[in-house]
Amino acid sequence: MKKLLSIAIAAIMLLSFAACGQNPDAVTSPDEETSSAAPSPEVPETITDSHENEFTLPMNLNRIIVLNSGVYEMICVLGKDDIVIGVNDSTNYPASAETKEKFGDWKEPNVEKILEAKPDAVIGYASYLSSGIAQQITDAGIPVIMLDFYVPSEIPGEVEILGKMLDAEERAEEFISDIEDIQKLVAERTKDVDPITVYYEGYTDYKSVGKGSGGTELMELANVKSLTADQNVEYPEISDEWVLEANPQMIIKLVSSTKEIMGDKITDTAAVKGLYSSIVSRPGWNNIDAVKNGKMLILYSRIGTNPLGTAMAPLYIAKTAYPDKFEDIDPDEYLGNMLKKYWGDELTGIWSYTE
Amino acid sequence: MKNALHIERELEKYNAHQAKGRRLIATLFVLLIVCIIVSASVGSSSVNFEIVLKTLCSYFSGVAVEDVYRSIVMDVRLPRVFCAVFAGASLSMAGLIMQGVFQNPLVSPYTLGVSNGASFGASLAIIMSAKLSFLGFGIYLTPIFAFIFSMLTMLLVYTISKLTNHDTRTLILSGVAIGYLFSALVSALKYISDVQSLPELVFWSMGSLSGLKWNVVFLLLMVFAVCFVISICKGWNLNVMALGYEESTALGVDYRKMLVLSFVVTTILTATSVAFTGVIGFVGLIAPHVTRMLIGGDYRYCIPASALMGSLLLLISDTLARTMFSPVEIPVGIITSFIGVPFFLYLIVRRRKV
């Protein structure tokens, strides 16, 4: 019993000494703390992604996998594509994507291959990446950053996050500032107009855009009035007879890059002309004001709901809607400048089409 | 004397059965006319019965109608109403014949894989539209591909069943298996498609009657009319086939020839509808069952009654699909199930009670 007691006392004493040895300044009064002249340690800056996940900066990313083609494009704009070791299967633009290893689908990527590659981080499609797979990657100690890059109002914030993450803040800020300059120009020129009504159609026939969608925001930026802005469904299928009666003054149609009828490498306008005539020849559409007045704009998806489109789509829409306000403005010139400055490309091919 | 009485009783029964069949056909026909009028009078625009009537009268008298209303009635609403009528009739008639020939209540026009083949063709056309543009099909690329692939699927199923001398069980099994194969191919296409093409694939596979023109109505009508006449002419043979291979052969019906004919008729009916409307479920399964529950299995009455029942089901469903959340439309396949299934279950329960 005595032996046990002595061991216990010895242990308590040892622990007390250890505690004192660890931090001799640990026991300080609050007064002492506030009067200390030493500078307080800086709180590390953090960023928050689209899923409210917080990451501490600097992230020191040297090897990342990107599963969102829009994010990859922006990483190239920021000049950081050399740290990307792999992308999802359908990311094939800009050209450097072709040289990157492929890690499967954008919704359900190959998780084993990703874990084996041991990247510093994975950037996923916030709205689409399988949450189960994202959790598996996170559980393996690899941070998963969720970004969308398709809602105009969120894009500047997302570009900023990407800039901070990749240590390319200046370039990101410059890009955001250029986008905002174009948006301001459109806002300035359209501030006194009586907004015209617009029917906006996405890649699928009669699929429009409702509340909270990227397309609705693009139209708000151009100060035109979307017929379907108040619909609670994000991508509603709209009744054709309702469109006929609503009689929009302008029609906007977005064309997917996979259709290969518009784009930087397409120079023959025959296919896009075919699309134009197929839309105007829909049952009864010859009675719509927009068709009668030739106010239909077909936009290539690269200037749709994405970083470049956030600036360029409102400009093209506003120019078509209110031509007299933009007589001295050539959207192609602005597009050419953006492509040259951030993508290193000359403006070629068909990006927008009106008749 | 006893025999004469028995024959007389049977004759009475037969006549009563015939009268019941005729009554149902007449009732369904009147109901369909009423539904066509109601459906043509409602929609997402303000075009109502009066405007529809005025528009139709304007062709015979000097009544003036605004161009936009004329467009809505003549170019949008009426073609859609009649597409629903003929597509519903085609699917239901195809389902009836297949359920009879295969003597299996679970068979629908889609059991043998027609819809899976069509979905694969349509998906291919949507994803590869750029590469296939040289064919010059324009906006008809998707329906043409859907039709071609559904016919190819059936050809494959037919060839396999031919190896077993057209055994009906083999036909169903090979149809289901090949259906699964095409379904897997559609999944593969969905898997490789990007965020831009995927919504279009999903949209097509849920079925829709929007944007269809009069030329589609006439095509559906022609196909339905030809198949209807053939089926009605062979109504007796179909009745006999319900007795099975041996009995029908003994009664002088060429069972195998009838099987092939039914196979061709149902395939063409289903493939044509699916090509333009996408995959609309339940009409071809439930409408024939409901018809048989009401008037029994005599094909001479079942064929027209089932076609009318299919028209009614699809027309009511589509009218609801385009008006319930106006101006937003919901996929018609969802509504056909919501309306068809409870009615079907009600009939099953009622029949069991009796």
Query: Residue ranges per domain, chain B?
Result: 2-353
Contact of A269 with chain B, judged by CB distance below 8 Å, is answered with no
Q: Is the dihedral of CA B328, B334, B340, B345 positive or negative?
A: negative
Contacts of A89 in chain B (CB under 8 A): 192
Give the separation between CA A118 and CA B64, rounded to whole angstroms.
Answer: 73
Q: How many CB atoms lie under 10 A from the CB of residue A324?
A: 7
Residue A61 phi/psi, 5-degree rounding, is -90, 125
Alpha helix locations (H) across B168-254? 168-192, 198-206, 214-233, 235-241, 245-250
Rounded Cα distance between B150 and B163, Å, is 20
Asked if the C-beta of B207 comes within 8 angstroms of chain A's C-beta atoms, the answer is no
- Check A239 against B79: CB less than 8 A apart: no
pLDDT of residue A37: 46
Residue type, A254: L
Residue ranges for chain B with pLDDT beneath 50? none
Q: B129 and A271 in contact by Cβ < 8 A?
A: no
Minimum Cα–Cα distance from B66: chain A residue: A287
Helix, strand, or coil (residue A64): strand
Q: Is the ipTM of this complex over 0.90?
A: no
Cβ separation B77–A241 shorter than 8 A: yes
* Distance separating alpha carbons of residues B298 and B148, to the nearest angstrom: 33
Give the residue from B316, B319, B333, B337 showing the smallest Cα distance to B119.
B333
Sketch out chain A's domains with CATH numbers: 46-167 (3.40.50.1980), 193-353 (3.40.50.1980)
Cβ neighbors of A157 (< 8 A, separation 6 or more) are none
Task: Supply the pLDDT for residue A23.
Answer: 42
Report the pLDDT averaged over residues A245-253.
Answer: 95
Contacting residues of A for B322, CB less than 8 Å apart: 239
User: Which residue from B46, B71, B138 is facing A287, i.e. has the nearest CB?
Assistant: B71
Q: Per the omega criterion (within 30 degrees of 0), is the bond before B331 cis? A: no
Select the residue of A128, A203, A228 nearest B200 (Cβ to Cβ).
A203
Taking Cα atoms as reference points, which of A106, A21, A94, A51 lies closest to residue A308? A94
| B194 contacts on A by Cβ (under 8 Å) | 69, 90, 106, 258
Chain B residues near residue A241 by CB distance under 8 angstroms: 43-45, 47, 72, 76-77
Determine contact: B170 vs chain A, CB below 8 A: no
User: For chain A, how many residues are written?
Assistant: 355
> What pLDDT score was predicted for residue B88?
96
Pick the CATH number of B2-353 from 3.40.50.10070, 3.30.429.10, 3.40.50.720, 1.10.3470.10: 1.10.3470.10
What are the tens digits of pLDDT across the range A75-99? 999 999 999 999 998 888 888 888 9
| Interstrand relation of A54-56 and A46-48 (parallel, antiparallel or unpaired) | antiparallel
Look at the block and give the residue holding tokens 């307080």: A40
| Phi then psi dihedrals of residue A140, to 5 deg | -80, 5
User: If 0-12 CB within 10 Å is exposed, 13-18 middle and 19+ buried, where does residue A236 land?
Assistant: buried
What is the model's pLDDT at position A21? 39
Question: Which residue of B133, B139, B327 is in closest CB contact with A238?
Answer: B327
Looking at beta carbons, which residues of chain B come within 8 Å of A245?
Answer: 44-47, 68, 72
Q: Which residues of A touch B79 (CB under 8 A)?
A: 283
Amino acid at B171: L
Residue A125 CA: distances (Å) to CA of A69, A72, A269, A343, B320: 9, 11, 33, 22, 36
CB contact under 8 A, B196 and A256: yes
B3 in A contact zone (CB under 8 Å) = no
* Set of chain A residues whose Cβ sits within 8 Å of the Cβ of B328: 231, 233, 236-239
> A254, A345 in Cβ contact below 8 A?
no
Question: Nearest-CA distance from A314 to chain B in Å?
Answer: 20
Those of residues 133-152 in B touching chain A at CB distance below 8 A are 133, 138-139
For the stretch A19-66, pLDDT in tens is 433 443 333 344 444 444 445 556 778 888 888 888 888 888 899 999
Contact B211 A205 (CB under 8 A): yes
Contacts of A278 in chain B (CB under 8 A): 138-139
Please check the confidence at residue A111 and state whether its pLDDT lies above 90.
no
Best CA proximity match to A190, nearest among A296, A320, A288, A304:
A320
Q: Would the pTM of this model clear 0.90, i.e. be above it?
A: no
Residues of B in contact with A124 (CB under 8 A): none
Please provide the average confidence, as pLDDT, over all residues in chain A: 85
CA distance A307 to A158: 9
Q: Does A188 touch chain B (CB under 8 A)?
A: no
Q: Which residues contact B260 (CB under 8 A, 6 or more apart)?
A: B158, B166
Which among A238, A245, A278 has the least Cβ separation from residue B138? A278
Closest CA to B245 of B255, B235, B237, B236: B255
CA dist B119 and B200 (Å) reads 12
Q: How many CB pairs under 8 A join A and B?
A: 120
Establish if A93 touches chain B: CB-CB under 8 angstroms. Answer: no
How many Å apart are CA A227 and CA A191, to the nearest integer? Answer: 19
> Rounded distance, CA A274 to CA B27, Å?
47
Inform me whether the C-beta atom of residue A257 falls under 8 Å from chain B C-beta atoms: yes
What distance in Å separates residue B214's CA from the closest CA in chain A?
Answer: 9
Q: What's the CA gap between A122 and A115, in Å, rounded?
A: 10
B193 to chain A: closest CA residue: A90
- pLDDT, residue B353, reads 62
> Which amino acid makes up residue A137?
I
Residues ≥6 apart with Cβ < 8 Å to B98: B107, B108, B109, B111, B112, B262, B266, B284
For an interface test with B, the pick among A87, A239, A285, A300 (most B C-beta atoms closer than 10 Å) comes out as A239
Give the CB-side neighbour count of residue A27, counting CA atoms within 13 A: 4
Q: Does B200 touch chain A (CB under 8 A)?
A: yes
Question: Which residue is it, tokens 């993450």?
Answer: A165
Whether the Cβ atoms of residue B88 and residue B319 lie closer than 8 Å to each other: no
Find chain B residues with C-beta within 8 A of A243's C-beta.
327
B327 touches chain A (CB under 8 A): yes
Q: CB distance from A202 to chain B under 8 Å? A: yes
CB contact under 8 A, A237 and B199: no
Work out the pLDDT band at A12, boundaries 50, 70, 90: very low
- Is A62 an interface residue toward B (CB < 8 Å)? no
Closest Cα in chain A to B210 = A240
Query: Which residues of chain B are within 8 Å of residue A254 when distances are taken between CB atoms?
Result: none
pLDDT tens-digit map of A189-215? 999 999 999 999 998 888 899 998 899
Q: Which residue of A has its CA nearest to B133?
A: A271
